[in-house]
Structure 1
Amino acid sequence: MNNAATLPETDATRLDALRARLADDPSGVLEILAHEYGVSMKAVIECLPETCRTLVAGAQAEAALLDIAAWGAVTVLVHTQDVILECKGPLPAGRIAHGFYNIGGGSPVSGHLRLDRCQTIAFVRRPFMGAESYSVNFLNAEGEAMFKVFVGRDEKRVLLADQVERFGALRDRLAAAGAVA
């Protein structure tokens, strides 16, 4: 399937086709699948098998980022139609000021995040390019990705075990808080 025009006409049929595709193979670039199926990134994530995803309320974004700040070097990724931008390094703890969550201070990862726009946080664990992948996806009210944070890898491209453990603990803690998106 190359574009939304070749897909079944109804949303339900399109989502069923996407669920079947992801049940068969949950790998692939989620943003490309969203474009191909004519749905939001959140819809793609919701179509992943349940074992691959946990969604929590975006109101917990600051708590998630403060926790991730203690993980060490991660990969922060922003994916638009025109660019996939990756930055590897520790995610500094930030603070709210002037309407943004501001991060910076000695790390290659810095910037200003509109956390008030984060509606959903999706914890995603799935295969990608032949390897297991763990990401925390921050999604806006339109269901599109604001940015993603991936668990780091060592020099042999093996996931960092302590970060995998921290990922699971953060996911479970935020999901248990009861504010599921």
Structure 2
Amino acid sequence: MALTPAEVVEQHSELSVAQLAEKAKCSEAEVVELLPQEWACWLPTEQLQWLMYDLPSWGPMTTIIQVAGSVFEIKDNFPSGKPGHGYYNLMDKQSHLHGHLKLDNIASVALISKPLRGTESYCFQFFDDNGSTIFKVYLGRDRKRVLLPQQVERFELLKQNMALTELENQQ
């Protein structure tokens, strides 16, 4: 008998969101919906532009783009940019990451802080309207692979603010 997506998430929580989605035969966004509240929350879509402006101030992080089974990692500060011609144009000469984000195609952003293969992990995960991941931005680590504490603090504060906002909206 096949497991439901909720059972897959519960029984295999050590897996990545992508692995859970594959195993549960659902979208990655659906997996995030099933994660415990302490592991994931959603950024209101109206705050997407703010996040794009804020991420460059966080310091070095790892941006991950997965395409057709390949995984590309860029370890650098998330670049600053500005809107133009229907895109958010990444144009920071100090960063190795350049390109053009179609913000209209980003339907949701999750803040995920769940263990990954036994290691503490924090990321912003950007989804399209089908629940597929467009890209992820993981918090940075030092040379000993320890998460940067100032980034973890900012991330947790942002998650707390999202939880408070959601609570206020329910009342």
What is the rounded CA distance, in whole Å, between the counterparts of 2:56 and 2:81 in structure 1?
8
Q: Distance in 2 between matches of 1:22 and 1:37?
A: 8
Q: CA RMSD in A?
A: 2.1
Cα offsets for 1:117-167 (capped at 9, x unmatched): 111110001111221000011111111111111010000000000000111
User: CA separation in 2, counterparts of 1:24 and 1:43?
Assistant: 16
Q: Distance in 1 between matches of 2:12 and 2:28?
A: 17
Q: Does 1:156 align with 2:144?
A: yes
Q: Which residue of 2 aligns with 1:106?
A: 94
2:113 partner SS? strand
Of 6, 17, 21, the residue aligned with 1:34 is: 21
Q: Which residue, 71, 83, 104 being the options, matches 1:116? A: 104
Q: Is the 8 A contact 1:59 1:119 kept in 2?
A: no
Q: State the TM-score, normalizing by the size of structure 1.
A: 0.83
AA of the residue aligned to 1:73: P
How far is the alpha carbon of 1:75 from its aligned partner? 0.4
Q: Which runs of 4+ in 1 moved over 6 A?
A: none
Deviates more, 1:92-101 or 1:168-177: 168-177
* 1:83 matched residue in structure 2: 70
Q: Is this contact kept in 1: 2:109–2:127, CA < 8 A?
A: yes
Aligned length: 167
Question: Are the aligned partners of 1:58 and 1:139 in contact in 2 as well (CA < 8 Å)?
Answer: no
Q: What's the % identity of the aligned pairs?
A: 31
| Aligned: 1:45 with 2:36 | no
Whether the 8 Å contact between 1:64 and 1:170 is mirrored in structure 2 is no
In the alignment, which residue of structure 2 is the partner of 1:11? none
Whether 2:52 is the aligned partner of 1:65: answer yes
From the superposition, tell whether residues 115 and 98 of structure 1 become closer, same or farther in structure 2 (CA, over 3 Å). Answer: same
Q: Confirm whether residue 147 of structure 1 aligns to residue 98 of structure 2.
A: no
Partner residue, 1:54: 41
TM-score by length of 2: 0.87
